[in-house]
Amino acid sequence: MGRSYALVYLDTVKGPSKIMRSTLRRGTALAILPTLGMLVLAGCGGDSGSGASPSTTPSNVPTATPTDLPTTPTVTPTGPKTNTPSNTADPSGEQADVTINVTVANGKVNPSGTSIKVQAGQTVLITAISDEADQLHIHGYDKELELQPGKTAQVKFTANMKGTFEIETHESGKLVAKLVVS
Amino acid sequence: MTALLLPLHGIGGRQDLPVPFGLAVGGAAVAIALSFVVLGLAWRNPKYKGDSSGKPLPAAITRTVDAGWFRWLVRLIGLAIFLYAMVALLFGVDRLTNPIFGFIYILVWVGLVPISLLLGPVWRTLNPLRTIHLLLCKLLRQPPSRGVLELPSWLGLWPAALGIFAFTWLELVAPDRATLPVLQAYLALYVVITMFGAILFGDKWFSTADPFEVYATLMARLSPWGRRTDGSLVLRRPLENLDGLKAQPGLVGMVAALLGSTAYDGFSNSSAWIGWAQNTDYSMTLLGTGALITFVVFVLVTYSAATVLAGRMSDSSRTKLPGLFAHSVIPIAFGYVVAHYLTLLILEGQRTLIYLSDPLSNGANVFGTGLLAVNTGITNHSTTIAVLQVLAVVSGHLMGVVSAHDRAVALFPRNKALLGQIPLLVVMVGYTIGGLVLLFST
């Protein structure tokens, strides 16, 4: 059933103003709380994405190789980020246990449908670059990356839920990778 | 503010971890070993007596269940839930916080299995379209069984099998399947076809063509509740209940559609398939449709061939055999369903119950569940989940083999009964290993 909900129209979603109007009209605290919750949830993804500086030129796209953390699980998610060799691939200097570089070009995604293993509790950094406007969505964790042509976008989160989670582009509806958190 | 535009992807956002290799292999080994134990050591005379068996329930329970007020209570509950969901379908917003998506794809489609298992054939009475038809008939002072035309007897369950295929195509293949217009179109078609058929052929149409009702009725055969031939409500062993299922045209089609589509669901989630399919020049819809048809036809052909071959090897009538053994595939399909949808039902079922409090996405909290959060505790028990998945597939297999064995010793000449079981046994082992491979590889 996983893929069944993957292809969701963003275009058909009703505008925010309409929702806010009806929410305010009701005016109850009960009504605002879920809206706030959604803002918070959706906001996590968007903020870190827009904050990333495009330090690489579009032509110099980082090769998309999902770098798994090597065998030693000494890096605890809460502890200080001791340097691991795989972390250096990231252009903006952000550090994470697992780094995934995504490229979207000519309607093809890279990686395409690969499984990426992550230990529960590790931090995951996803860096994405696309040649056209799109969204990258990490299902289950509900992280959303706005992709603008030629701009690098990033999101970082802790994999604290076990399972298989799809990373997918919205506009083109392609499966980039599966995050296998165990 | 743009954050509000983002849909919250809950449903189907998470899949189970692949089952560990050792567990999958162990499960397969146990399934094969059990098959031969059943074949070699089990009883030689038919044991199950189907609908004539069972221990009667206390008279008070039978009286209550059969009482008119109780029937109407259940019917009105079904109708009320349906009408509530229709509000979300017709007037809700087109985003995943609309509970209708989870309602149809999770609570109805997946939920009807545990409901039927726990309560028996209750869907017939809950079926809102049946109730609407009944009310219309009452209004027109017509008996609900009367139609304009007679249903041809060869039709059997074929319309429902086609309906299962149509729904699984919508759920697993259709583009934009989690958008409101698509779901509205599907439900409009479903309601029109079902109601129109009921007017034409009378209420027999529901038990022949309503895919949800027919599916639920089949699954209710795995419950401990049944009705004996003398009319009393009885408690009986699930496999005995299953034995009472009558062979009818289209039963094989139903079973093939259920098993094939569930297998396709697992397959279509595999990285190998997606990685290949999304980079070809063909549309995913086209490829998915082809693959879904292939899976269903594969089950239909392998199963039918095995039973026909069994007939040849045991000198029995061949044309009737596929229908007479079809009940034994139901537990296998059930095992697949549990393995694929258990965690989905638990996680997304919760989410749907939360969303149901706010059918129009305007902040309402009708049932007071609107502010609850999904308890994702089970996701941390990945080993238990994997064990349950393998156990479900292997138990389904075992129940299937036992049912088929009992039917074989009833149908085949005594000296050929063992030999005659081999083709179907081989096919069943194939389905089970296939199911475990899908769990392991996705």
Residues 37-56 of A with CB under 8 A from B: 38-39, 41-43, 46
Partners of A35 on chain B (C-beta within 8 Å) are 4, 363
Q: Which residues share a beta bridge with B227?
A: B233
Q: What is the CATH number for A65? A: 2.60.40.420
Specify the pLDDT at position A66. Answer: 43
- In-domain check, residue B261: yes
Q: Which of B186, B271, B284 is the best mutation test for A, with the most CBs of A within 10 A?
A: B271
**Residue among B1, B4, B336, B378 with most chain A CBs within 10 A, to mutate:** B4
- Between chains, do B358 and A30 touch, taking CB under 8 Å as contact? no
* Cβ separation B181–A12 shorter than 8 A: yes
In a domain, residue A43? The reply is no
Domain count, chain B: 1
- For residues B256 and A168, what is the distance between their CA atoms, to the nearest angstrom? 32
Rounded to whole angstroms, the Cα distance separating A140 from A158 reads 12
Per-residue pLDDT at A110:
85
3-state secondary structure of A130: strand
Residue A89 lies in a domain: yes
Q: What is the pLDDT of residue B442?
A: 67
pLDDT category, A92, cuts 50, 70, 90?
Answer: low
Q: Which two tokens stand for residue B123?
A: 């869907």
- Under a CB-based contact definition with an 8 Å cutoff, are residues B259 and B336 in contact? yes
Task: Residue B15: list chain A partners with CB under 8 A.
Answer: 2, 163-166, 178
What confidence score (pLDDT) does residue A142 get?
Answer: 77
| Contact between A42 and B8 using a beta-carbon 8 Å cutoff | yes
Domain residue limits at A102 = 49-181
Domain count of the fold of chain A: 1
In a domain, B265, yes or no: yes
Q: Decide if B128 is inside a domain.
A: yes
Higher pLDDT: A29 or B166? It is B166
Residue B10 covered by a domain:
no
Complex ipTM over 0.90: no
**Sheet-wide strand order for A123-130:** A108-110, A98-105, A123-130, A153-158
Is B98 within a domain?
Answer: yes
Identify the pLDDT of residue A4: 41
* A58 in B contact zone (CB under 8 Å): no
**Cβ-Cβ contacts under 8 Å, B358 against chain A:** 34
Peptide bond into B144 cis (omega under 30): no
Residues of chain B with pLDDT under 50: 1-10
Could you tell me which chain B residue has the CA closest to the CA of A114? B271
pTM: 0.81
Query: Out of B3, B14, B271, whose CB is closest to A140?
Result: B14
Which range, of A35-49, A141-155, B10-24, B367-381, averages the lowest pLDDT? A35-49
Highest-pLDDT range among A127-131, A138-142, B73-77, B375-379: B73-77
Residue at A144 is within a domain: yes
Q: Which residues contact B252 (CB under 8 A, 6 or more apart)?
A: B300, B303, B304, B322, B323, B326
Counting beta carbons within 10 angstroms of the beta carbon of residue A113, is it exposed (0 to 12), middle (13 to 18) or buried (19 or more)?
buried
Tell me if A123 is assigned to some domain.
yes
Tokens of A113: 């449908």
Q: Do the Cβ atoms of A65 and A100 come closer than 8 Å?
A: no
**A29 CA: distance to closest CA in chain B (Å):** 9
**Which pLDDT score, from 0 to 100, does residue A19 have?**
38
* Residue-number span of the structural domain to which B402 is assigned: 17-441
For the ranges A48-62, A81-95, B186-200, B377-391, the lowest mean pLDDT is seen at A48-62
pLDDT of residue B12: 58
